[in-house]
Chains A and B, each alone.
Chain A
Amino acid sequence: MSQATQLPDDAFAPLTRSQHVQSLSRPSLSYWQDAWQRLRANRRAIISLYLILGLLLFTLIGPLLWRVDPALQDVDQISQPPGADRSAILTEDYQPWYGDPNTPGEGLRLAQPASTQAVRLQWEADPDAAEYRIYRNIFPVGTERALGLPLFETPANQTYFEDRLDLRPGVYFYTVVIMDSAGEETEGVILPDGQTPGSLPNQLEVEVKRVVTLSEARQRGLVDADENPPMGTEYQFAWHPLGTDYLGRDMLARLMHGARISLFIGFFAPLLYVLIGVIYGSMAGFIGGMTDQVLMRMADFVVALPFLLFMILFKVVFSIGPGESGITPMLVAMIILLWPSTARLVRGQILQIREEGYISASRLLGAQTNYLVLRHMIPNTMGVILVTLTFAVPGAIFTEAFLSFIGMGVAPPTPSWGSMCNEGIKTMLTTPHELIFPALFISITVLAFNLLGDGLRDALDARMRNRE
């Protein structure tokens, strides 16, 4: 061998060895440390974990930072999407108006700047007109001639109209249709100022600004009682980061408080029923024999009960009184109906562990039953229990949301994500944010818990597989 020439002189001298033949080269890792390492390598699970932690912060710390009463109604801002303009201009008190033929311009036009107080329209008389019918739409009118809401019909001699019907800040489209003497609509409309006849019905686009009178501003606390600011001063109404619902309640505050309910049920129901399942299952598995048979048949009986029907029955039996939220009956029903799956799982695990060598060894060393269960059996089922728990949480959250959504869960006005969805779905088309936000929270939470559960199962199972 050529390399032999480069060897030191004493290369073939006997090796003096330190007697550390049984040393271990890999770092020491306990079961949980190893599982944590594996979980940490799973990016989806870790993102989910952060999401869940964020959610907990949102629920627990959020209401301390965002001190808005979830039941408080802001009547100025009803069904406001997030980011909507919340400025209001100080204006005079309302004065009646009877048209103003001197309004500059031709055709259909605004007599005064449009505000939430009133939109004042003025137009020139049409010789063919017997009457005018005024329409308002929140969308531009297309070829289908869906003109929107018919507001009023004015006689031929009244060429002005004042709209005060539930005005919100935003854009409105007004159309004035010419009616014939038989009281039928004609094709003709009053041309808005500066427009030429087109294929589409000619309409006037009006941008409505929010205004507030001095007395209103004082009432809202925008202006001090002794202050007298000039007209036209701009004020900002209360801020609702995620908008308001159909009763003008702050969405963010409601989501935070709703999360409390959802997560309370989501954590406590599984925690309690998994605990019951663990105790019940380990009893059945450990005692075995006839006791096991009887206990498991009881569990089968509970499994056979139709879940939804029983939830509704519970709701009826517990009959929620005024001022009660309906959380307790839901919690109790879930605990009573959902423990058997955990009990079965734990029983199976215990039956398996009962045959392991270390149980025999411990029995031979004189271990009492409770020592065997607490020291050997439960720690070895912890992994499975933890995974079950992680999967049970989104299940419970979803059940709560579903029950509240169909109106069988928490009673209004207590917010919960499910009941918020229920309320939001009614105005889904006009103000989708009222549905989207709670639905998003439910989806993300359920997804995060499921992904975390998946990651946890993989992390814990891997350890079981690579026992060598």
Chain B
Amino acid sequence: MPEEPTNNNDTLLQVEDLQVEFATYGGTVQAVRGVSFAVEAGKTLAIVGESGCGKSVTVQSIMGLTPMPPGRITKGAAYLRGHNILGQKTINGKDIRGDQIGMIFQDPMTSLNPTMNIGNQIAETLIVHRGYSKKQAFARAVELLELSKIPEADKRARQYPFEFSGGMLQRAMIAMAIACEPDILIADEPTTALDVTIQAQILDLLGDLQRETGMAIILITHDLGVVARMADDVLVMYAGQVVEHGSVDSIFYESAHPYTLGLRAAMPSNDPERNQELTPIDGSPPDLFQPPVGCGYAPRCPYAMKVCAAQPPAVHHIGPGHEARCWLHDPANTQAVPAIHNATQVAHHE
């Protein structure tokens, strides 16, 4: 994806044309097919898409968490402050994972050691990455738990993961992820397993921490509500590609890709005035076992044109920092673009 000039000083992470494949029985699945994006300090980038669209694989392969084999990065680069980190574990002797980029997952239980108390697990990162003494590290761990708004942090630090509820575990994971004051926090569906009230607490916490530390957040989610609440920039992914990229307002109010529109139309509106029908997106995402020839969304797209099924669309500039990978926006197309604007107006209440 042709980006804006990237010598912006605020750019922390710059991913260029990332391609990831998985070898499975009977063939290769092209999970990520050329993804580019940039993350700026203090900003939140949301990556939205359905399960299987490659959003988790994208960040996992940047972090070196994709099992290889069967996974394989076939192309691309990811620059963290100018250093390519693909396939690297450290830059200038400093660990990338845990030190410069923190990570939290949907299911915190699987990433915590059940036989070690929470405080020691957080302390361990500090001992490994920062060379703290055991005592110092534990004291800092308690501070971090307090920072994550865990009540009675002192007592909680001595408890084991099974004594924590899901929301508390996610807080502990956040405390662990921010222990080394990373530049970037990757949150992979952090609230999907949680209830709305707990989700609201966790999202508030993430927002507060971002304001305090100025770290960038990459938020992976499928919930447009969470995106609307948290994101500055949004990357909409479909079938292993970025289909639309822009600021949160442009994504929601000037949606340029039919998939983004489809996602919004498939969600119930909370407007008491309107009781509109839900418009589902027909069908299911393509199986990347057989990558589509043209646009991956064409079989489900209400605006699909002949060219969509035949040739992959290029990325088109829609507005400042707003791009969409769609034939509708091709200069040669004269007919169908109004349809998309109409749909935008229908879906967006003024």
Which A residues lie at the B interface, using CB under 8 A?
A: 1, 3-5, 7-8, 10-15, 17, 21-22, 24-27, 37-38, 41
Contact = CB atoms under 8 A, between A and B. Distances in A.
Interface in B278-336: 282-284, 286-287, 289-290, 298-300, 303-311, 314, 327, 330-336
B299 A13 contact: no
Contact of A15 (B298, B331, B332): B298
Nearest to B294: A15
Given A1-B332, A25-B289, A26-B289, A12 B327 contact: yes
Contacts of B332: 1, 4-5, 7, 11-12
A17 B304 contact: yes
Contact of B314 (A3, A15, A22, A38): A3
B292 to A, nearest CB: 10
In terms of DSSP, what is the predominant structure of the interface of chain B? loop
B305 A14 contact: yes
B61 to A, nearest CB: 19
Nearest to A15: B304
B26 interface: yes
A12 B335 contact: yes
Contacts of B333: 12
A84 B284 CA distance: 72
A25 B25 CA distance: 14
Nearest 7 A/B pairs, CB to CB = A21-B283, A4-B332, A11-B307, A15-B304, A12-B333, A25-B287, A12-B305
B306 A15 contact: yes
A8 B311 CA distance: 11
B299 A21 contact: yes
B287 A4 contact: no
A26 B309 CA distance: 20
13 contacts: A1-B332, A3-B314, A4-B330, A4-B332, A5-B332, A8-B306, A11-B332, A14-B336, A15-B306, A21-B284, A21-B300, A26-B289, A37-B25
A34 to B, nearest CB: 8
A1 B334 contact: no
Nearest to A37: B25
A4 B298 contact: no
Given A11-B332, A27-B26, 9 more contacts: A1-B314, A3-B311, A3-B314, A7-B311, A12-B327, A12-B335, A15-B298, A17-B299, A17-B304
Contacts of B299: 17, 21
A80 to B, nearest CB: 51
Contacts of A26: 26, 287, 289
Task: Determine which residue in A14, A15, A25, A38 has the highest number of CB atoms from chain B within 10 A of its CB, and name it.
Answer: A15
Contact of A25 (B290, B305, B306, B311): B290
A27 B327 CA distance: 31
- Counting chain B CB atoms within 10 Å of each CB, the highest count among A13, A17, A41 belongs to A17
Contacts, number: 64
Given A1-B330, A37-B25, A38-B25, A15 B308 contact: yes
B305 A1 contact: no
Contacts of A5: 332
Nearest to B298: A15
Interface residues of B, number: 30
Nearest to B333: A12
Interface of B: 25-26, 282-284, 286-287, 289-290, 298-300, 303-311, 314, 327, 330-336
A18 to B, nearest CB: 9
A124 to B, nearest CB: 80
A13 B311 CA distance: 14
B305 A11 contact: yes
Contacts of A25: 286-287, 289-290
Contacts of A37: 25
A4 to B, nearest CB: 4
A22 B309 CA distance: 17
A37 B25 CA distance: 8
A3 B304 CA distance: 18
Nearest to B314: A1
A38 B336 CA distance: 48
A274 to B, nearest CB: 29
Contacts of A27: 26
Contact of B284 (A7, A11, A22): A22
A37 B331 CA distance: 49
B16 to A, nearest CB: 21
B293 to A, nearest CB: 13
Nearest to A6: B311
Contacts of B287: 24-26
Contacts of A3: 311, 314
B298 to A, nearest CB: 7
Contacts of B304: 14-15, 17
A22 B306 contact: no
A37 B24 CA distance: 12
A25 B292 CA distance: 11
Contacts of B335: 12
B331 to A, nearest CB: 7
A214 B106 CA distance: 91
A1 B311 contact: no
B289 A12 contact: no
Contacts of A22: 283-284
Contacts of B305: 11-15
A12 B332 CA distance: 8
A12 B283 contact: no
B334 A12 contact: yes
Contacts of B310: 11
B283 to A, nearest CB: 3
Contacts of A7: 307, 311, 332
B314 A11 contact: no
A448 B142 CA distance: 54
B259 to A, nearest CB: 15
User: Which of B299, B304, B333 gathers the greatest number of chain A CB atoms within 10 Å?
Assistant: B299
Contacts of B300: 21
Nearest to B51: A468
Contacts of B309: 15
Nearest to A466: B24
A1 B331 contact: yes
A45 to B, nearest CB: 15
A13 B308 CA distance: 10
Nearest to B305: A12
A12 B25 contact: no
A221 to B, nearest CB: 60
Contacts of B314: 1, 3
A325 B43 CA distance: 81
Nearest to A10: B306
A13 B336 CA distance: 9
A162 B333 CA distance: 114
A15 B327 CA distance: 12
A12 B306 contact: yes
A8 B306 CA distance: 10
Q: Which of A12, A13, A21 is the most central at the interface, judged by chain B CB atoms within 10 Å of its CB?
A: A12
Contacts of A1: 314, 330-332
A38 B24 CA distance: 11
B343 to A, nearest CB: 15
Contacts of A10: 306
A4 B334 CA distance: 12
